[in-house]
Amino acid sequence: MRYNQLGRSGLIVSELCLGTMTFGGEEGIWGRIGQLQQEAADGLVKAALDAGINFFDTANIYAEGRSERILGQALRNLGVARDEVVVATKVLGRMHDGPNGAGASRGHILAQVEKSLERLGTGHIDLYQIHGFDTATPIEETLYALDGLVRRGTVRYIGLSNWAAWQVMKAVGIAAARNYAPIASLQAYYTIAGRDLEREVIPMLESEGVGLMVWSPLAGGFLSGKYTREGDGEGRRAGFDFPPVDKARGHDVVDVLRELAEGKGRSVAQLALAWLLHQHAVSSVIVGAKRPEQLADNLAAVDVAFTAEELARLDAVSKLLAEYPGWMLERQRGYRGGPSPRR
């Protein structure tokens, strides 16, 4: 396991992060995603710790708060010293009825952070993330609330999730101008079958020193290797086809991954994860599992190495189609000479 700086912060996190969205599900969408209860969750957390993972991600909305409670209890059951792990959670989703039961308002954030602390059984949250963009709340209000939590020590670092490039950039600028706590990270969807983030978001993150945490690195199981062009079978995507994937292009990617995996004696999933670990902008990749063998397979991705030729082949089959202004920027790059800008 390797460890990376999260953006420009002093926080060091493992290159793989254990996601806990499979913890605590009972009915509806959370039951379809995962129904792991305490004993099974303890086993996965222990396996992650044994492999060198120090980073755990959850959200208040996962399984209606049960994911946070199970994660916190697992760390206590295993006797883990609090300062030895980095615990991240999120706020935004609807937690109760009424107009103020969701969002990124000051009121909702201050109410929900206390409930997350109680469920996790901890005195502080290492990384507190806004789970999406709230169109009803000014960014200034959200950042002011988060800054207050950092100043009092309830939260150590702040992050965003599922924000557009312009929204993140606006938040970075406001935080800098008002001397608020800086944005340490963005949690976003990024896979070799869905590289949309490379158009605007990743160049912005690299420019501003914001770390990238990747969610659903196997595209909701699409990159697990178990799906074929003939159908989605009985896996998770058969009943919960998310996140969206261009399946025609995606299967072309899987074909190459499968061929390389066979040559290396690896799984398709391991290579899909390893490709992300080879991307410069990525700070940590969130992996989740329902079974110990799934997690063990994912953890082995840290040992996968690619040759330059293999990376070039994967890039060719998965690269984005050129869009404006990208193709014009590329065309005009040579006007001034000198080194190429970072990508």
The CATH number given to whatever domain includes residue 249 is 3.20.20.100
The answer to whether 32 and 240 are in contact (CB under 8 A) is yes
User: Who contacts 193 (Cβ-Cβ below 8 Å, separation ≥6)?
Assistant: 219, 222, 223, 245, 246, 249, 250, 253, 254, 272, 318
Predicted pLDDT at 172? 98
340 within a domain of the structure (yes/no): no
**pLDDT above 80: residue 248:** yes
The residue among 254, 200, 262, 256 whose CA lies nearest residue 227 is: 254
The question of whether 3 is a catalytic residue gets the answer no
Predicted pLDDT at 333? 84
Burial of 84 (0-12, 13-18, 19+ CB in 10 A): exposed
Task: Kindly state the average pLDDT of the residues 53-81.
Answer: 98
56 within a domain of the structure (yes/no): yes
State the pTM of this model. 0.94
229 within a domain of the structure (yes/no): yes
**pLDDT above 90: residue 308:** yes
**pLDDT above 80: residue 249:** yes
341 within a domain of the structure (yes/no): no
* Mean pLDDT (the chain, rounded): 95
Predicted pLDDT at 235? 63
Task: Kindly state the average pLDDT of the residues 321-335.
Answer: 90
343 within a domain of the structure (yes/no): no
Lowest mean pLDDT among 100-114, 157-171, 231-245: 231-245
- pLDDT tens string 45-57: 999 999 999 999 9
The answer to whether 91 and 108 are in contact (CB under 8 A) is yes
CA distances from 184 to 84, 105, 135, 143, 154 (A): 19, 20, 22, 13, 16
Task: Kindly state the average pLDDT of the residues 184-212.
Answer: 98
Residues 70, 63: Cα–Cα separation, whole Å: 10
Predicted pLDDT at 242? 82
Classified as helix, coil or strand, 161 is: strand
**Beta strand spans in the chain (E):** 3-5, 12-14, 16-19, 55-57, 86-91, 125-130, 155-161, 183-189, 211-215, 282-287
134 within a domain of the structure (yes/no): yes
69 within a domain of the structure (yes/no): yes
- Options 3, 62, 190, 324, the catalytic residue: 62
Task: Kindly state the average pLDDT of the residues 263-271.
Answer: 97
**pLDDT above 50: residue 8:** yes
How many domains does the chain contain in total? Answer: 1
- Show the domain range for 231: 3-334
342 within a domain of the structure (yes/no): no
